[in-house]
Structure 1
Amino acid sequence: MRKIILTLGLIGLFTACKQQEKADLIVINANAYTVNKNFQNVESFAIKDGKFIGTGTNNEVQKKYETLETIDAKNQTIVPGFIDAHCHFYGLGLQQQKVNLRGTKSYDEVLEKLVAFQKQKNSTFITGRGWDQNDWEVKEFPTKEKLDKLFPKIPVAIGRVDGHALLVNQAAIDLSRITKNTKVSGGEIIIKEGKMTGILIDAAMDFIKFPETSKKEAIQGLLDAQKISFSYGLTTVDDAGIDKKTIELIDSLQQAGSLKMRIYAMVSGDDQQEIDYYINKGIIKTNRLNVRSFKVYGDGALGSRGAAMRKPYTDRNNHFGAMIYTPKRYKELAKQIAASDFQMNTHAIGDSTNTWLLKTYKEVLKNSKDRRWRIEHAQIIAQEDFKNFDNILPSVQPTHATSDMYWAKDRIGKERMKGAYAYKNLLNTYGKIALGTDFPVEKVNPFLTFYAATIRKDLENYPENGFQMENALSREETLKGMTIWAAYSNFEENEKGSIEVGKFADFVILNQDIMKIEGKEIPKTKVVSTFLNGEKVY
């Protein structure tokens, strides 16, 4: 009898083990925010073949699944992989190969960095980006005289932090054969006392003939950008405006396995041939690359007064900024894209640009459903235009608010500020909001995004009561904007953006709980590990 009982017991034990499903990885003892429909918190999940196959308590998951690899999260916070809904991933990579002027506190410091860079690189054409005259004691655009003295024969072209203004020296001007009389549509050549200052705004920058980026530089740039992005917990990036050549390079590197980052590629809308090419080819979709949208520029930036305003700038008489193209051109583009399956994502800063694009979107989409066309930045909105975001998706960058808050009111005045950086109003109208950084215009760090969206202060605790706090987002809304809503903005909410069965196993382990810590502690958050497809990539 004892032998029978023992035999039955062994059979039962064997059967129980056999019933367990195999997993490649199980994570236990986690404080995991799934960002599912109920914003559920779980302590364990299982992964197989790069996807989540189960979530629940430690007991539930370990009882159902067996695995050779288990990670004890030790109660650390886990969130879905971050999605940056608007950035310049390739641009960040290329910037690593050029002089970095971010954080410079004066024009003289910019010049010092250029001299040091040239001593190291001995470049035949000096390029870089990151200066911002609004951070200087003298908040005026620099002029080229000092550049001409330091570099009389070597062309220099350095971009403002937002990418909408360029400072060039005479050697670069001569190489590009432009003069103060060169006609510009959608931009400006700044003239002072009858002479070119060296500042070119928006479309005027297109006249500068930059040296071609080599394939080696391009590949290294993409890999450098990936390394930086993984270190901040990004697993998907929306690259806002890249060309066919770059997209094909990205695809080849992803197919080879060296570029693992998931990329939502917005095709640059500057080239009609490329628009025609992708519309004829149709949507391109792999597990790592999604090409189904066009990025169009509506106007310039507020910092360089290139944003198109309905009334003149408060701090510059009779200056309205400018739209990049004619209203007719935007309508033509919108009609062509509306007739395809592609998404139109348009950069719109000024209230005039937002008004026109919302009107154009509405007109061409008419009764179309679920197109998810996006207004990128949606920075200054006339009060009567908020209602028009009912079916137009706002894609914003919260750190723009805390970068601009020191001087934005001087630019546009108190009344227009009521519709500026109004993220809560936009969310309340559409029901979702996609969050990004616009890096390298702003820093890559998503925790600065989280902080700016919820606390709306700078790192020095300014302003004391927060900047226009009526438009702050809750922490839950912000995390959704950086994960599931960003995925939705890319038509990818069924495959990523939350820790749920069937979705890609993209997740991030953090050193502190961003949903509960004091607001001032949020920017100090660090990524412990980043996982993509269940593989540790950082």
Structure 2
Amino acid sequence: MKQLLILLSLSFVFASCSTQQQADLIVINSNTYTVNEQFEKAAAFAIKDGKFIAIGTSEEIQETYKSKNIIDAKNQTIVPGLIDAHCHFYGMGMQQQKVDVSGTKSYDEVLKKLVAFQKEKNSTFITGRGWDQNDWEEKEFPTKEKLDKLFPTIPVAITRVDGHALLVNQAALNLSEITKDTKISGGEIILKDGELTGILIDAAMDFIKIPNSSKKETIKGLLDAQKISFSYGLTTVDDAGINRKTIELIDSLQQVGSLKMRIYAMVSGDNQKEIDYYINNGIVKTDRLNVRSFKVYGDGALGSRGAAMRKPYSDRENHFGALIYSPERYQEIAKQIAASDFQMNTHAIGDSANTWLLKTYKQVLKNEKNRRWRIEHAQIIAPNDFELFDNILPSVQPTHATSDMYWAKDRIGETRMKGAYAFKDLLNKYGKIALGTDFPVEQVNPFLTFYAATIRKDLNNYPENGFQMENALSREETLKGMTIWAAYSNFEEDEKGSIEVGKFADFVILNQDIMKVEGNKIPNTKAVSTFLNGEKVY
């Protein structure tokens, strides 16, 4: 009898095994936030051919599927692969090849970094990025005198952290044939006592003739950016404003498998030839590359007073900032894009820029509801303009709020601050909000995005009660903004953004439960492992 029972048990086991389906990877005993429509949790899932094929309990998955690769998550938290809805992936990668002056606390510290960089690299043209005078004790723009003494013959061009101001020396000005009498529109060459200071704002920056990077440097930059992004759990990045040459290089690297990152490429709308090319040739879509949008600049940045405001800046008399193009040019671009299947995504910081662009969108879209045209940043909104976001998607970067909160009120005044960094108000109007970082303007770390959106404090717990907390997002809203809503903003919600059957198996294992951990501990969140198509990439 005992032998019969053993035989029956063995036959049951073999029968069960024979009916199990083969999976490439099984994850069990996890604390998974699926971010599906019901925002359900799960303990396990199975993956085959790069996609999720089942989600359920550990028992259900193990009974139905078998695999040589099983991960026991030991109750670690898992979320869908994170999506940065607005960043400069290519730019961040190229910055790794140049001098990095981010985080500097004085102009002298910037100069020390430049000297050290040149000693190591012996460059014929020094370029870099990251300075921010608002972080210095002396908060005025630097001037070029010290640069001229240190580098009398080597051109130097160092971009401000926001990418909207450039510090150059006389050698760079001479090379580019810029004088105090040079005329520009859509920007500013800042003079002091009638002489060049070395500071160029927005369109004026384009006058500087910076040498192009080699193909080898570009490839290294893209691969460096991928490595950094994967380490933070990012599996899709929206690169806001790149040209055809870079897009085609990205595609070629993805095709051979060296660049695995999924990229939503916004074609730079600054070049009419590029707009014409992509509209005439149509959307480019692969599993890793999606080219179906144009990034257009509406104005400059608040930090460099280039953001276009309805009334003068509170800290600079009779200064309004400026639109990059004329209102008529925005109409031309918008009409051309509206007649295609492409999306228009426009950088708009100041309340005047937001007004112009929102009204332009409304005029050309004629109340179409599913075009998903985006306002990038949507930073300062006039009270009456919130209503215009009923069919215009806001794409914001929460860490801008916690970076700017120290000085923004001085720059625009208390009244306008009520419509600034108003993430909750924007969400309530559209129903969704896409979240990003704008790296390398801000740090790559998406967990700082989560912290800034929900807790709205800096890493020193300032301000005590949070910054304009009426516009904080809930944790669920924030995770959606970094996953499924970001995917929606890219027309990709059916293939990514949540852990659901049929979607790409992109997910991240975290070191703590970001949905429940104490608020002040959110910045300590780290990606333990990052998976793309079920493949471990970090």
Fold conserved between structures, TM > 0.5 = yes
The superposition leaves residues 336-386 of structure 1 with CA deviations (integer Å, 9 ceiling, x where unpaired) of: 000000000000000000001000000000042310000000000001000
CA distance in 2, matches of 1:533, 1:4: 45
Shift of 1:525: 1.0
Shift of 1:180: 1.1
Report the AA paired with residue 513 of structure 1. D
Number of aligned residues: 538
Shift of 1:511: 0.5
Shift of 1:3: 10
The match for 2:357 is 357
Shift of 1:281: 0.7
Contact 2:367 2:391 in 1 (8 A): no
- Structure 2, unpaired ranges of 5+: none
The match for 2:470 is 470
Question: SS of 1:293's equivalent?
Answer: strand
Report the AA paired with residue 411 of structure 1. R
The superposition leaves residues 158-203 of structure 1 with CA deviations (integer Å, 9 ceiling, x where unpaired) of: 0000000000000000000011111111000001001000000000
Alignment of 1:235 onto 2:270: no
The match for 1:503 is 503
The match for 1:95 is 95
- Structure 1, unpaired ranges of 5+: none
The match for 1:214 is 214
Identity, in percent, stands at 82
Distance 1:9 1:116, change over 3 A: closer
Report the AA paired with residue 168 of structure 1. V
Alignment of 1:171 onto 2:154: no
The match for 1:515 is 515
Pairing 1:244-255 to 2, within 5 Å after superposition: 244-255=244-255
Shift of 1:480: 0.4
The superposition leaves residues 73-120 of structure 1 with CA deviations (integer Å, 9 ceiling, x where unpaired) of: 111111001000000000000000000000000000000000000000
Shift of 1:10: 6.1
The match for 1:488 is 488
Contact 2:238 2:266 in 1 (8 A): yes
CA distance in 1, matches of 2:412, 2:438: 22
Report the AA paired with residue 357 of structure 1. L
The match for 1:294 is 294
The superposition leaves residues 222-270 of structure 1 with CA deviations (integer Å, 9 ceiling, x where unpaired) of: 0000000000000000000000000000000000100000000000001
CA distance in 2, matches of 1:476, 1:318: 43
Alignment of 1:125 onto 2:125: yes
CA distance in 1, matches of 2:42, 2:509: 14
CA distance in 2, matches of 1:405, 1:94: 29
CA distance in 1, matches of 2:59, 2:4: 30
CA distance in 2, matches of 1:333, 1:462: 42
Pairing 1:264-413 to 2, within 5 Å after superposition: 264-413=264-413
Shift of 1:527: 1.1
TM-score (norm 1): 0.98
CA distance in 2, matches of 1:19, 1:344: 50
The match for 1:63 is 63
CA distance in 1, matches of 2:439, 2:472: 21
The superposition leaves residues 285-321 of structure 1 with CA deviations (integer Å, 9 ceiling, x where unpaired) of: 0000000000000000000000000000000010000
Shift of 1:212: 1.0
Distance 1:526 1:8, change over 3 A: closer
CA distance in 1, matches of 2:528, 2:9: 44
CA distance in 2, matches of 1:5, 1:155: 86
Contact 2:450 2:479 in 1 (8 A): yes
CA distance in 2, matches of 1:50, 1:293: 26
CA distance in 1, matches of 2:386, 2:280: 34
Report the AA paired with residue 352 of structure 1. S
Report the AA paired with residue 209 of structure 1. K
Report the AA paired with residue 81 of structure 1. G
CA distance in 1, matches of 2:351, 2:345: 17
Question: SS of 2:364's equivalent?
Answer: helix
Shift of 1:126: 0.2
Return 242-251 or 178-187, whichever deviates more.
178-187
Contact 2:368 2:391 in 1 (8 A): no
The match for 1:135 is 135
The superposition leaves residues 438-471 of structure 1 with CA deviations (integer Å, 9 ceiling, x where unpaired) of: 0000000001000000000000000000000000
The match for 2:75 is 75
Question: SS of 2:314's equivalent?
Answer: coil
The superposition leaves residues 485-527 of structure 1 with CA deviations (integer Å, 9 ceiling, x where unpaired) of: 0000000000000111000000000101110011110101111
Report the AA paired with residue 535 of structure 2. E
Question: SS of 1:387's equivalent?
Answer: helix
Report the AA paired with residue 129 of structure 2. R
CA distance in 2, matches of 1:180, 1:9: 90
Report the AA paired with residue 288 of structure 1. R
CA distance in 2, matches of 1:154, 1:261: 36
Question: SS of 1:92's equivalent?
Answer: helix
Report the AA paired with residue 37 of structure 2. K
CA distance in 1, matches of 2:121, 2:6: 77
The match for 1:205 is 205
Report the AA paired with residue 322 of structure 2. A
CA RMSD of aligned residues (A): 1.3
Shift of 1:19: 2.0
Report the AA paired with residue 301 of structure 2. A
CA distance in 1, matches of 2:2, 2:438: 72
Question: SS of 1:381's equivalent?
Answer: coil
Question: SS of 1:264's equivalent?
Answer: strand
CA distance in 2, matches of 1:403, 1:310: 23
TM-score (norm 2): 0.98
Report the AA paired with residue 262 of structure 1. R
CA distance in 2, matches of 1:351, 1:253: 40
Pairing 1:6-155 to 2, within 5 Å after superposition: 13-155=13-155
Report the AA paired with residue 177 of structure 2. R
Shift of 1:21: 1.2
Shift of 1:15: 3.7
The match for 2:425 is 425
